[in-house]
């Protein structure tokens, strides 16, 4: 049993701690219309209701809710976090910095728009970061694509529905 524990620990030390997650959806709308939902944090609850994963979550919007410098923070049973938009363009999308657990974990993310020839928009949500160096960080990094990727897929479907119905 001790050999198994040591083996798992040693393997964990050599696993990459960096991760990258990306998912896309095609929305039947121009990038500017998509941006009305993505570029304004007030609209995120219409398509990205994080309370589905953590009903205890309380989201607090910053003084600024759209454009560069817009921010939100949250607390819940699943932890704490903060998001700040660092780039915002109705044609290209947003980029943001994300902090989890009081800044213990930092990552960057983006929701980018790509205008397609038929007038639709491909929206790609991406996030990348580094879990740090610990015995478990490599294992957590391996799980990020599945855990976060599934959330991105669900939220992108919600975004598609919200934008296309024009709520």
pTM of the model: 0.88
Query: d(Cα 166, Cα 107) in Å, to the nearest integer?
Result: 31
What digits encode the pLDDT tens for the residues 63-110? 999 999 999 999 999 889 999 999 999 999 999 999 988 767 789 999
What digits encode the pLDDT tens for the residues 12-54? 566 667 878 999 999 999 999 999 999 999 999 899 877 778 8
Mapped onto helix, strand or coil, the DSSP state of residue 117 is coil
Residue 136: alpha-carbon gap to chain centroid = 22
């Amino acid at each position: 049993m001790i050999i198994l524990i040591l083996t798992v620990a040693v393997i964990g030390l050599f696993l990459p701690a960096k991760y990258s997650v990306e998912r896309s959806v095609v929305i039947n709308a121009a990038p500017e219309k998509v941006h009305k939902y993505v570029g304004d944090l007030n609209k995120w609850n219409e398509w990205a209701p994080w309370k589905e994963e953590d009903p205890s979550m309380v989201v607090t919007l910053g003084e600024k809710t759209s454009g560069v410098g817009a921010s939100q923070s949250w607390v819940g049973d699943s932890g704490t976090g903060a998001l700040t938009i660092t780039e915002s363009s109705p044609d290209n999308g947003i980029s943001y910095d994300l902090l989890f657990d009081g800044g213990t974990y930092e990552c960057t993310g983006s929701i980018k728009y790509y205008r397609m020839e038929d007038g639709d928009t491909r929206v790609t949500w991406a996030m990348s970061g580094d879990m740090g160096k610990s015995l478990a960080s490599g294992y957590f990094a391996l799980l990020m694509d599945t855990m976060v990727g599934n959330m991105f897929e669900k939220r992108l479907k919600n975004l598609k529905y919200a934008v296309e119905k024009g709520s």
